[in-house]
Amino acid sequence: MSTFQEEKILSSPYHDFNREEWKELNGHFNHSLNADDIDQMHALNEPLNTEEIEEIYFPLAHLIELHINHYEDIRNASNNFFDRNQQKLPFIIGIAGSVAVGKSTTARVLQKVLSFLPNKPKVSLVTTDGFLYPNKILSDRGILNRKGFPESYDTKKLLNFLTAVKSGISTHIVPVYSHLEYDILRDDTILIQNPDILIVEGINVLQVNSQKGQSNKVFVSDFFDYSIYVDANEEDIITWYINRFESLRATAFQDPNSYFHKYANLTLEGSKEMAFQIWNEINKPNLHNNILPTKYRADLILQKASNHFVNNVKVRKL
């Protein structure tokens, strides 16, 4: 092993906690969740139970509460310094990670448990899927097969939204993406109004690579007050992706209105082969070139084991 490699192992900008260590950090956070709550939070083929929420997300909510309190202290001190009464702005949390790693479940669980904090904050959730270009634009540009890559997002619209949030504008209309239709819904939107906490979830939220021909000086992550990367071994993510594809083939893809209805009659073996092909052609290069390199830009990394439950947490040192 080279000296450089040894230094990388010995010196890390993160505190490292295994699951047993992490769950002991929850000093006071204690709430009850029922089966309906859990059913609404987890995604297809992603197991979730009260143990995972209590041992992983309760301590995480407690940690984020510390950051929110510090954020508010700084705002109050700034108001005193400038002799102004700047309104309270939303605390924004970014959640990144690979396709099929479980970002959506993490975002929904975090939204729920943060709403349990003592001051009962209003927690809103936005996914960057809504800021993808419509399929027509992607097709016209010849990049429909690169959906999820940086160039497939209307980054300007996303940045404008985040700028408005951090400028004190209270009401926002956010576009909606349909996984069934595989496209932006023209006649559907989400209303985001006066959140105390805003969670922004998407594979691209920590990326800083500019689109071709552009030189961005502002990035999505510049607006985050805290950022989380959901991580797992690639072999596990591939397995989860293939299993999810097969589950969708047997359910959602059977709907004639589904963009992926063309896969509805695949055999089990054919479904696995198609999913693996899509992974290798689209999701793998996007993961390696655009998503994975952003991992160490996060304030906190949730590392999942092959059973989809978190077994390690890395927290950036202060």
| Class of the domain covering 10-316 | alpha beta
**% the chain with pLDDT above 70:** 92
Handedness of CA 195, 190, 208, 229 (dihedral sign): positive
User: Does residue 213 surpass a pLDDT of 60?
Assistant: no
* Alpha carbon 185 to chain centroid, angstroms: 21
pLDDT class of 33 with cuts at 50, 70, 90: confident
Res 2: pLDDT: 47
How far is CA 2 from each of CA 6, 14, 243, rounded to the nearest angstrom? 6, 21, 39
Would you tell me how many other CB atoms lie within 10 Å of the CB of residue 302?
25
Higher confidence at residue 300 or residue 318? 300
* Residue 206 confidence class, pLDDT cut points 50, 70, 90: very high
pLDDT of residue 103: 96
Does residue 4 surpass a pLDDT of 70?
Answer: no
Q: What is the pTM of this model?
A: 0.92
pLDDT-wise least confident of 30-34, 51-55, 122-126, 243-247: 30-34
Does the pLDDT value for residue 29 go beyond 70?
A: no
* R_g of the chain, CA atoms, integer Å: 20
pLDDT at position 286 over 80? yes
pLDDT for 9: 54
CB 68 within 8 A of CB 197: yes
- pLDDT tens readout for residues 131-184: 999 999 999 999 999 999 999 999 999 999 999 999 999 999 999 999 999 999
Which of these ranges, 133-142, 207-216, 251-260, has the smallest mean pLDDT?
207-216
Q: Is the pLDDT of residue 270 over 50?
A: yes
Is 210 a residue whose pLDDT tops 60? no
- Check residue 46 and give its pLDDT: 77
Residue stretches of the annotated binding site: 97-104
Provide the pairing of β-strand 310-316 with 14-18: antiparallel
Beta sheet of 310-316, edge-to-edge order:
14-18, 310-316, 300-304, 226-232, 91-97, 197-201, 123-127
Average pLDDT of the residues in 244-273: 94
Mean pLDDT estimate for the chain: 91
Residue 20 structure tokens: 């047993």
> Is the model's pLDDT at 215 over the cut of 90?
no
Cα–Cα distance measured from residue 304 to residue 300, given in angstroms and rounded to the nearest whole number:
13
What is the three-state SS of the chain? CCHHHHHHHHCCCEEEEEHHHHHCCCCCCCCCCCHHHHHHHCCCCCCCCHHHHHHHHHHHHHHHHHHHHHHHHHHHHHHHHHCCCCCCCCEEEEEEECCCCCHHHHHHHHHHHHCCCCCCCCEEEEEHHHHECCHHHHHHCCCHHHECEHHHECHHHHHHHHHHHCCCCCEEEEEEEECCCCEEEEEEEEEEECCCEEEEECCCCCCCCCCCCCCCCCCHHHHCCEEEEEEECHHHHHHHHHHHHHHHHHCHHHCCCCCCHHHCCCCHHHHHHHHHHHHHHHHHHHHHHHHHHHHHHCCEEEEECCCCCEEEEEEECC
Position 86: which residue type? Q
Token code pair at residue 148: 């999820």
Show binding-site residues for ATP: 97-104
Q: Residue 211 has what pLDDT?
A: 54
For CA atoms 17, 23, 28, 30, give the dihedral sign. Answer: positive
What pLDDT is stored for residue 30 in this prediction? 67
